[in-house]
Structures are given as C-alpha cells and as structure tokens.
Structure 1
Amino acid sequence: MVRRTRAEMEETRATLLATARRVFTEHGYADTSMDDLTAQAKLTRGALYHHFGDKKGLLAAVVEQIDTETDQRLQAISDAAEDDWEGFRSRCRAYLEMALEPEIQRIVLRDARAVLGGASPESQRDCVESMQRLIDKLMKQGVVEEADSQALASLIYGSLAEAAFWIADGEDSRGRLTRGIDALELLLRGLLVKR
C-alpha cells in the first residue's frame, strides 16, 4: 500500500472540493454522479469516500467552504464602509445580492436546503453572533434603538436567509432582488434611533 503524504492528502481534498463546486454549480447535486465527479477530478471514488464519506458529505464540505468565503466577503464589506451603519446596511444588501450568484444560488440556496436541510446550526449561530456584535456596536453608538441584540440579530438573519431563498427560487430573480432590497431598507430604517 502506498502511503500518501499530508500535502498529497490535502491536495486530493482540495481537488475534490474544487471539482464538486464546479460540477454542482453546472449540473446541480441531484444530477451529479459520483463517477462523473471523480473522473473529472482524476481521482477515485475511494478518495471521495475517504475524505467526505459520501456525496452528501462532499456537499456539506462545499457548503461550509462557500459559507466561510461568504463570511469573509461580508466582513470585508463592513470593514471598507465609511461608518458602521453603512457597513451593516451594505452587508445585509450584499447578502441578498449574492443570491444571484450561480454558485451560491445552486449549491447553498437550493441544493443545501433540499439535501442538508439548509445551513448547519454552527454556521447559522456564527452568522447570528456576528450580526449581534454589529448590532451591539450600533446600539452603543446610539445609531440603533436599544433592544435585545440577540433577538434582533436572529430576526434579521432569518429574514435575510428566507429572502435569499425567495430570490434564488424565482423565475424573476433580479426583480425579486430589487423588491427584496426595497423591503430590507424599510426594515432597517425601523431600527434607527428616532431623531
């Protein structure tokens, strides 16, 4: 038996993830066979089983990777904003806009929901906690009305997630995005301290 180095194992895992992302985006989870996927990756089914257990495990790993990248993109939006409120608004808006990206639309918003039941509890918790920290900061600055920040974060995250599913699932995704952003702006204005 040939022993593979850690670097080779990591490269195999990365190749499977990259291939799965491309193939799942192009064909969807249901229409992707493990034989076609491993052939395109130039790897064996055994490699897929070793690293991910099965096709569903591979999908979960792909979703986790995309979620991590999405979080980084959203954080960069917050960091680049001229003030924290604008960063928060832009971040929420960007989350909805990402529902139009083919990879996110197909893998995260359609296939993950159908196959995995949606985002993992850890991913959801991380999103809510991140949003809660932003809301706490905005409350301390006197920008957002005082309220339970965890409740607000849960409500806003849930609203954004459902709106993203709604945008991705429709025939008129661009029109739905426009209407979703209008509704989001109305919702967010309701958070502001009345002056």
Structure 2
Amino acid sequence: MLRAAPAKKPSKNREKLMAAARRLFAGQGYAATGTEDIVREAGVTRGALYHQFADKRDLFRAVLEEMLPEIGRRLFEETMARIESDREDLQVGCRVLLGIYADPEVRRLFLIEGPAVLGLAEWKALQAPLSSLFLNHALQHLVDEGTLNPAEMEPVADLLAGALQQAGLGIAGAADPDAARERYAAGLDLMIDGLMKRR
C-alpha cells in the first residue's frame, strides 16, 4: 500500500531528522541506516518522521536537496576568491567543483549514494539546475568577449555538464579521490584550453 504524500512544512522535527539522517548516511551509508536509527539519533518518534517524509528515500533526497545550495555557495565563493578576470571563471570553477566532489561528505552522499539510491536519471535531474547556473554564467563571459557564439552556448554547456558528472562519478569510485580529481581536472583543462584559444 502506498503511503500518502507527507506534509512537508518547516518544523524543528524536520530539522532534527535532516541533521540526523545526514550524519548517519554520511557515516555508515544509506543501506546500513534504518529509519529506527534516524529517529533515535534525532530524538523524535517514527510518526514524526512519516509526518515529514514519505519514507527513507524521500528523506535522503531531501538531504541532497539541502546540500545543493551549500555546494553552490562554496563553488561561487571559492571561484570568486581565485580568479582575476571573468575569463577564468569557467576553468577555475570546474577545478573548484572537482575539489568539492573530493570532499568526503559530498563524495559519499552526493556521488556514491546519490546515483545508487535515486537512480542515475533522477540524480542528474536533481543537480541540473546548479550545473546549468554555473556553466551558463561562466560561458556567458566567453560569449560577451566573442570567444563563443551565442548559438554554441547551450550544447557546450550540456557537454561540459556531462563531463563534470562523469568526473564526479570517477572521483567517487576512485581508491584515491584526490589523485582522481587531479586527473580529471587536467582533462577538463585540455578541453577548456581548446575552447579559450579560439579567440
């Protein structure tokens, strides 16, 4: 029997459940974490959990949705701190994002558990708005300076988004995430360098 959609209104219980689930999912993984573990960690009842979330998967998705703005802020702030001109936005931003992907919590929750729990299609759709915002902003600088034609912007953004997703999955599955990050960053540099040299 399908459970009715929950009332997803802000509440202290929701905040407690989100914080507890995030800690447990990051520490021991989605499969090893039961709803009883989450409610015990949060200090709430099972009824409180099911009032806020349809099930464990729904709670997990909410944790990823909470992480996305955090990743976006970190991407923006670290990129802006490193660039000297708008032209560097794309290359530096891609490197910053790969660095974020190598962060243990992001790697575990967003890159390892995310596709496994949600499925690849839903995982890609979840992160698409953040990816589009970053890439469209960075590529617009290249359009403004005449390096990129406006009609080329959408397909280039789609291709770079796919490359970044593949890099993230590669970092997630690597025995040495930092070394994998550097390999993928070097590959992205080659792609972006070719684009930048068109001017």
Do they superpose with TM above 0.5?
A: yes
> What runs of 5+ residues in structure 2 fail to find an aligned partner?
1-8
TM-score by length of 1: 0.88
1:121: Cα distance to partner? 2.0
Cα distance in 2 between the residues matched to 1:47 and 1:184: 45
Give 1:113's match in structure 2, choosing from 92, 115, 118: 115
Identity %: 33
Cα distance in 1 between the residues matched to 2:72 and 2:187: 23
User: Contact 2:35/2:56 (CA < 8 Å) preserved in 1?
Assistant: yes
Residues 89-125 of structure 1, C-alpha deviations (whole Å, 9 max, x = no match): 2211111112221111111101110010142525314
1:71: Cα distance to partner? 1.1
Comparing 125-134 with 22-31, which one deviates more in the overlay?
Answer: 125-134
Residues 100-156 of structure 1, C-alpha deviations (whole Å, 9 max, x = no match): 2111111110111001014252531442244123202222123x3335111111110
Change (3 A) 1:138 1:98: same
Cα distance in 2 between the residues matched to 1:9 and 1:159: 36
1:48: Cα distance to partner? 1.3
TM-score by length of 2: 0.86
1:165 maps to what in 2? 169
1:4 maps to what in 2? none
1:77: Cα distance to partner? 2.9
Counterpart of 1:84, as a letter, is D
- 2:69 maps to 1:68: yes
Q: CA RMSD in A?
A: 1.9
Aligned residue runs from structure 1 range 101-140, under 5 A: 101-118=103-120, 119=123, 121=125, 123-140=127-144
Cα distance in 1 between the residues matched to 2:17 and 2:127: 22
Change (3 A) 1:173 1:165: same
User: Contact 2:75/2:96 (CA < 8 Å) preserved in 1?
Assistant: yes
- 2:172 maps to 1:174: no
> What runs of 5+ residues in structure 1 fail to find an aligned partner?
1-7
Counterpart of 2:60, as a letter, is L
Count of matched residue pairs: 187
1:145 maps to what in 2? 148
User: Contact 1:78/1:91 (CA < 8 Å) preserved in 2?
Assistant: yes
Cα distance in 1 between the residues matched to 2:67 and 2:60: 11
1:29: Cα distance to partner? 0.4
- 2:155 maps to 1:154: no
Cα distance in 2 between the residues matched to 1:122 and 1:179: 26
Cα distance in 1 between the residues matched to 2:125 and 2:58: 16
